[in-house]
Structure 1
Amino acid sequence: MSNHTKHTGAILNKLANEGSMNTAAEPNTLSVERKENHQSAVEHDLEEMMAQVVSVLPADDVRFEDDLLKENLEEVLLMLVALHGEANGKELLSTLATYFDIQLSPGIVYPALHDLEDEAFLEMHPMVRTKEYSISNEDHVRATLEATMVQHLAFGLLLSAFLPRLNSL
């Protein structure tokens, strides 16, 4: 096994251990209770998750490319709605801009929210001036997010396995 492959394996093991340590400390559920200072709780959760990612990767800075976020917008929105407990489109646009440094138009985010509602991932609750979205089926959301995660990890491992061969081409 090459040093690069060992290093990648160590990174994935550390990431898996970080995730399982958090699971033991807090129940791994998508429901988030509304708190008095709810926005700061969401901010704290996102900052903590990003710190975990950065702590196990051999990179100084982790930044998600806009195209990657757009291609995975539904999964990102599901994660953000779950963190918020209930969220409206404006909150989600703000969170995307703040934590992912991406400026998406309402014409991209709102249709994605409507699609997630049509697919029974989200429930829409009409309010006076807005619509609030919440997770409607946690098991369905969890299965979808896990499938996406496995797909991305598998692709990353494939690229990692290829990199040592690049030198021999």
Structure 2
Amino acid sequence: MREDATITESVLEALSRASTDGPSESYSLGASDATDQRERELDELLSQVDGALPTDELQFDEAIVKENVDEILLMLIALREGAHGEQLISDVARFFGTELSPGTIYPSLHDLEEEDVLSMHAKVRTKEYSVADEEFVRSSLERSMIQHLAFGLLMYAYLSRY
């Protein structure tokens, strides 16, 4: 049992490093270099998380992605420093391996905008969303992270006894 605790600690430490490591530069919206850098940063974050877990390959079930769509959208919008719906649909498919329909993404964006968490900026042919309430985003993501970690640790503890 003590050996399992060590493994859990190392996984949690690695996840913590994955969430705090990486560039903290600010990027200007619209520049392709900045977009490429943000995409590399997202790839790097997922790679760090994948490397921290005791599994061969990190895969997200569609149900988990759908259940956490608000948190995923908030994270992607914050990392991109703004994004439009089509870009978010593409990001979810690329980074989470799940094809979510516009009928799933846009209602969530609209709800988050109505709750004043996001602000919407109408562009010529799209609507771009940005974070309006950074404190809410941080606390929401933290609350979700803690719940998922606690649930995962509970399952891990059960499996070590099974």
TM-score (norm 2): 0.91
Structure 2 residue 97 is the aligned partner of structure 1 residue 101: yes
The equivalent residue for 1:125 is 121
The alpha-carbon deviation at position 38 of structure 1 amounts to 3.0
Query: What is the SS of the residue equivalent to 2:83?
Result: coil
Q: Which has the higher contact order (CA 8 A, sep 6+)?
A: 1
Structure 2 residue 11 is the aligned partner of structure 1 residue 16: no
Does the aligned pair in 2 maintain the 1:15–1:53 contact within 8 Å? yes
Root mean square deviation, CA, Å: 1.8
Percent of aligned pairs with the same residue? 43
112-121 or 1-10: which moved more?
Answer: 1-10
Query: What is the SS of the residue equivalent to 1:133?
Result: strand
Offset from partner CA, 1:43-85 (integer Å, 9 cap, x none): 1011110111012111110011100000000000001111221
Report the residue type matching 1:159 in the other structure.
M
Does the aligned pair in 1 maintain the 2:77–2:83 contact within 8 Å? yes
The equivalent residue for 2:132 is 136
> What is the aligned length?
161
The alpha-carbon deviation at position 39 of structure 1 amounts to 2.5
Structure 2 residue 90 is the aligned partner of structure 1 residue 111: no
Q: Extract structure 1 runs of 4+ deviating beyond 6 A.
A: none
The equivalent residue for 1:158 is 154
Q: Distance in 1 between matches of 2:82 and 2:24?
A: 20
| Structure 1 gaps, min length 5 | none
| Structure 2 gaps, min length 5 | none
Structure 2 residue 46 is the aligned partner of structure 1 residue 50: yes
Structure 2 residue 17 is the aligned partner of structure 1 residue 2: no
